Amino acid sequence: MNRFAELLDRLAYEPGRNNKLRLITSYFHEVGDPDRGYALAALTGALSFKHAKPALIRDLIAARTDPVLFGLSYDYVGDLSETVALMWPKGVVNNDKSFPGYPSPQPSPASAFAEASADRRGEGAQQRTRQSTNTTTDNNFGSDGRTSLSVPSPLLSAEASAKADAGEGQGGGYPGRDNDESLRPRNHNNPPPPTLTEVVTTLRTLGKTELPAQLTRWLDELDETGRWALLKLVTGALRIGISARLAKTAAAALGDKDPHEVELIWPGLSPPYLDLFAWLEGRTEKPVNRDPAPFRPVMLAHAIEGTDFATLDPADYIAEWKWDGIRVQAVAGRDDRGHITARLYSRTGEDITGSFPDLVPALRLPGAIDGELLILRDGRVQSFNVLQQRLNRKVVSPKLIKDFPIHLRAYDLLGDDENDLRELPFAERRERLETFVRKLDDPRIDLSPTVPFASWEALTAARADPVSAGAGEDAAAVEGVMLKRRDAPYLPGRPKGQWWKWKRDPHIIDAVLMYAQRGHGKRSSYYSDYTFGVWTEGDSGDELVPVGKAYFGFTDEELLQIDRFVRRNTTEKFGPVRHVVHEPYKGLVLEVAFEGLQRSPRHKSGVAMRFPRISRLRWDKPPREADRLETLEKMLKTEAAELEA
């Protein structure tokens, strides 16, 4: 754990991508299995366990430190985990232990101070060897004593110092330097600090009541950096500041492999990745994915800006509608016995097959479709609100299936039978997709049409009027257009310049719910006022910064859902305000619509929204994929430019 913590600490300070890679690769090289595997899991966001509340950490430190000293320290450091990691006193502190060889100091009553002082002088004098040699009475200090006086050699003293310190691990110009220190358990009786593996595997199974004692033990055993990383990890506040992609690239570098190769086999791997490291170190064959229907990490688009078009050639791109549904991956494959297994995954790889049993029979050919989940009634795409009726259901009743018939609109084909198509250019994959959908010949699965265009002007017109540009009666469900480079392979993550999304309404962002407050009047029993934030680069990697507050736009049903979410996911309470979990992979994404943006020095984010409202709940989206502050800043610039024009 200490070594992993050291890596995290160093990564947080290192700005260069290649240098980060070097640090991680060297860690993988130096640290053995299974620790490095759990480290890779932590770096790729693949670790999950129940988190401890900050209040628990406060209790632990309160039991060991003076509250005034803790308060002053916390004020100074500004971060709970770091404060606790830094000031954590090891072992039991005994305040009465006096310094060896010297009398315990006595309090001196103010009124009798002179006397008390004189008394103690007698006592102190015995300890003292008073040298009165070389006394001079020259109050002008003489003119220059350089020639007559010499100074002891510091070298001799250094030796003496080394001797005096032989028994001390740190510091100590004289023996018994630290009251607390001298009571600490010393080397031989010390349990070794926990490994990362021990921490991760223990946290997974540890009961809530056992957590405080376990944490205390670990805090006693770890060094400062280790304590810091442990506290960040258990409170779910570990911001690593590197992408999963970078961590996988660093792993690939261990075996001089192409990172893409690691990405391709990644879905079939799990912590602590023993098979992966064995392959990277040339000890075994490449791991094969035994899951007949594995998830493949999804490819995401960048939001396009007005200025981007100047650098893009329309001929390089294929455009298609961006449907207002849920992005999914529908995968079917044959198991060992040749039977088809079909699974539906959310964009984060969550298996959501159980919620859509009505789609499974349609996935009867082995392959992997990237598409959008929609509700179709009489061949017409329904609004997202209608689709939402099918989400987060524990029981999928026949009535639900009948009233809300599910449909898959296909964008892309990632696998065709045994063949991995992800390395092929998009144009080629699109052709394979057309054939695949035709072969499936199922009313529940159709092809998302492309939008023909010859110039950016033509595409602008199509986006402004999807009805006449081919979307027809489904135009209301068009959220915008997608631009995909014809030659783009299917790359996990959000690679630059490959895919662009161009939403119809520029005034919509995906934000993350951060705080909730009780409403007023008839809503006073519900948490109905929401503060939401977007991502920005903070001191230690990405962090959420609040950008606005909204208290309407949602249906009564949605209010109940959010209220429930808030109550179940509160991390801290301050009067009427609740802090709601908002981590990269935990939290609620709110689609927020607004009328405009203004600069605002009053807000930490520097921007303020006009008339913000919740336009949709994005249960399907991990907070990590919510928008960034830069997107708002760009909107702000665009708006300013439009105003001037």
Partner 1 sequence: MTIMRPQDILLPTAAGLCCKPGGFHIDPVRSVERAVITHSHSDHARAGHGAVLATQETLDMMRLRYGENFAGSTQAIRYGEEIRLGDVSVKFHPAGHVLGSAQIAVSCQDTCIVASGDYKDAPDPTCTPFELVPCDVFITEATFGLPVFRHGDAADEVKKLLASVALFPERAHLVGAYSLGKAQRVIALLREAGYDAPIFLHGAMESITHYYQSRGIELGELRPVKGVKKAALAGTITLAPPSATSDLWTRRFPDPVTAFASGWMRVRARARQRGVELPLVISDHADWDGLTATIAATGAGEIWVTHGQEDALVHWCKSRGLRAQPLDLVGYGDEEETETPLGDEAEA
- When the beta carbons of 137 and 525 are compared against partner 1, the nearer one is 137
Q: How far is the CB of 144 from partner 1 (least distance, A)?
A: 6
113 touches partner 1 by CB under 8 A: yes
- When the beta carbons of 227 and 327 are compared against partner 1, the nearer one is 227
Per CB under 8 A, which region of 87-95, 253-261, 475-483, 594-602 contacts partner 1? 87-95
Torsion of CA 245, 249, 250, 255, to 10 degrees: 150
Dihedral sign for Cα atoms in the order 220, 225, 226, 231: positive
Site for partner 1 in 176-195 (CB under 8 A): 176-181
282 touches partner 1 by CB under 8 A: no
92 touches partner 1 by CB under 8 A: no
Q: Are 25 and 250 in contact (CB under 8 A)?
A: yes
300: tokens are: 């995401």
Enumerate residues 6+ apart whose C-beta is below 8 A from 163: none
Q: How far is the CB of 230 from partner 1 (least distance, A)?
A: 15
Per CB under 8 A, which region of 140-148, 368-376, 440-448, 564-572 contacts partner 1? 140-148
Q: How far is the CB of 578 from partner 1 (least distance, A)?
A: 27
3-state helix, strand, coil in the chain (%, to 5): 40, 20, 40
Q: Are 295 and 345 in contact (CB under 8 A)?
A: yes
Torsion of CA 26, 27, 31, 34, to 10 degrees: -130
For 349, phi then psi, to 5°, come to: 95, 10
Enumerate residues 6+ apart whose C-beta is below 8 A from 320: 411, 448, 449, 450, 451, 481, 482, 484
Query: Across the chain, which distance is largest between two alpha carbons, in Å?
Result: 111
Q: Are 65 and 30 in contact (CB under 8 A)?
A: no
Which of 33, 56, 108, 308 binds partner 1 (CB under 8 A)? It is 108
111 touches partner 1 by CB under 8 A: no
Site for partner 1 in 516-545 (CB under 8 A): 539-540
Instruction: Label residue 257 left, alpha or beta by phi (over 0 means left) and psi (-120 to 50 means alpha).
Output: beta
- When the beta carbons of 87 and 581 are compared against partner 1, the nearer one is 87
Q: Are 597 and 635 in contact (CB under 8 A)?
A: yes
16 touches partner 1 by CB under 8 A: yes
Site for partner 1 in 334-353 (CB under 8 A): none
107 touches partner 1 by CB under 8 A: yes
- When the beta carbons of 23 and 445 are compared against partner 1, the nearer one is 23
- When the beta carbons of 182 and 202 are compared against partner 1, the nearer one is 182
- When the beta carbons of 136 and 397 are compared against partner 1, the nearer one is 136
Buried residues in 310-339 as b, exposed as e (16+ CB within 10 A):
eeeeeeebbbbbbbbbbbbbbbbbeeeeee
Q: How many residues bind partner 1 (CB under 8 A)?
A: 93
Q: How far is the CB of 626 from partner 1 (least distance, A)?
A: 25
Per CB under 8 A, which region of 73-81, 205-213, 320-328, 617-625 contacts partner 1? 73-81
Site for partner 1 in 208-267 (CB under 8 A): 223-224
Q: How far is the CB of 259 from partner 1 (least distance, A)?
A: 20
Catalytic-labelled residue, pool 322, 399, 522, 604: 322
Q: How far is the CB of 34 from partner 1 (least distance, A)?
A: 23
Task: Provide the pairing of β-strand 367-377 with 326-334.
Answer: antiparallel
- When the beta carbons of 98 and 455 are compared against partner 1, the nearer one is 98
77 touches partner 1 by CB under 8 A: yes
322 as an active site residue: the answer is: yes
Q: How far is the CB of 187 from partner 1 (least distance, A)?
A: 14
Q: Are 606 and 614 in contact (CB under 8 A)?
A: no
Active-site positions read 322
